[in-house]
Each structure stands twice: as C-alpha cells, then as structure tokens.
Amino acid sequence: MTTVLLVRHGLTAVTGSVLLGWTPGVGLDDRGRQQAQALAQRLASVPLTAIVSSPLQRCQETALAIAEHQGEPKSESEPWDDGPVVIDDRLGECRYGDWTGQEMKTLAKDPLWRTVQEQPSAVVFPGPDGEALRDTQYRAVAAVRDWNTRLGPDAVWLACSHGDVIKSIVADAMGMHLDLFQRISVDPCSLTVIQYTERRPFVIRVNDRGGIVADLLPAPRASGDAADGDAVVGGGAGTT
C-alpha cells in the first residue's frame, strides 16, 4: 500500500482572518515557522520517499522545513532529482476568484457563503479566475493518485497543501460526497494520513496536531467570527 502524509501549511499573519487563496509572497509567521519545525521533528524518523508541495510560499516553507530534517534521500526515486521538495500545481489552493484577499467577516455576509457551507459541490467562486470546489477536489485527488502510481506501493510520501484541498482529498478517501466535506477539520500544520490499497483507501489519521489533551477543547470565539456551525473557508487558524 502507498501511504500519503497530508500536511497543511503553518500559520501566516492573516490565516483565518483573510482568505489568501493564490495571493503570492505570503510566508509563514513566527508561529507558523515554529509549527513547521515541531512537525518536522516529529516526522524526522519517517523515511519519506518524496515531499511534494503546493507552489504557494506558505506551503513551500513548511515542506522545506520538513525536508531539512529528513537528511539524505531515503530512496533513489525520480522526484528527489529535482531537489528535496517537488512542486505540483494541482496541490495549490482553491482559486477563490473575487473572494481572494477579502476578510472572512465580510465573506460571511455574502449569499454565496451559505452555499459554501451547505452545498459546496455547487459552488463556483466569482470572477474570471474563480474555480469550482468540485474541480479543486478533482485535480487534488488526481495529483495524489498520480503520485501514488509514480512512487509505487511501498512509498511513504508527503504532500503539503491547503485546508480545503486536504479536506476534499479526505472526503474522497472516505467515500463522502463533497457536500459533506465541511464536517472535516484540517488545522494549520496538522497531519492527515491515508493509506491507498488496490481495494480502497484507509484514512488512518485526520487533523493530528500532536498537542496535549487540552488542545481538544474549542477555542474561544472572537468577535466577527463566522456563525456557530459554519466552517471557515480555507480552513481557518485552528485553535492555536
């Protein structure tokens, strides 16, 4: 079986308050770098066949932190020939179109927000660059499947991506309709593990942050937060 470690990027200065999408040049803040280092240390003993990343800076920085703790390549697989981290655009964030760069509290008032919450398979984000969430899922799952085939059944590889992208991959692996994917939480720098076999995927771990038991308690609500029960588009800032 092929084992895929799905890692969401660490925190940025605006994670959870602004919908970044494909905004360029946004890297991790101090908290995000600490998260990436902590996860890298946890994964240091895991022999990764390859590390594949979204092209966006926040993911590349997270993936590189993990790669730095891997030491020498664990195999002679082709991806390592391109460096410790390979970029795959298909793992990039959903293209939110005109929503990109807007504050979450503003977006929560948009009529489209309700559709995002209740019927995400029907959502096409506005503007010429807007993407349908179902297309985001299609390309992300295709990327995972392609890399599984390329790396082989004994591979353990890591994909660094984004909240909504990882949620869509998990939904596919669990046989869930995309309209149910808002029930899944994927916090910054969390670890999700899926094993793919010829018969079916097995979801081994979801949203593992390696924290203490107290981290399981809900975070205090801040003014301007989305309505109770709404999922934050893009994944939010978690409970950090």
Which residues, other chains included, contact 163 with Cβ-Cβ below 8 Å and sequence gap of 6+?
Answer: 8, 186, 187, 234, 235, 236
Question: Averaged over 147-176, what is the pLDDT?
Answer: 97
What are the pLDDT digits (tens) for 48-74? 999 999 999 999 999 999 999 997 555
Question: Where along the chain do its domains lie?
Answer: 2-216
Q: What was the pLDDT predicted at 78? A: 53
Contact, 19 vs 96, CB < 8 A? yes
d(CA 42, CA 37): 9
Which residues, other chains included, contact 135 with Cβ-Cβ below 8 Å and sequence gap of 6+?
Answer: none
Q: Which is higher by pLDDT, 12 or 218?
A: 12
Fold for the domain defined by 2-216: Rossmann fold (3.40.50)
Which tokens sit at 5?
């470690």
Provide, rounded to the nearest whole percent, the portion of the chain with pLDDT above 90: 81
Contact, 203 vs 169, CB < 8 A? no
What is the model's pTM? 0.89
What are the pLDDT digits (tens) for 79-114? 555 679 999 999 999 999 999 999 999 999 999 999
What is the rounded average pLDDT for all residues in the chain? Answer: 91
d(CA 36, CA 189): 6
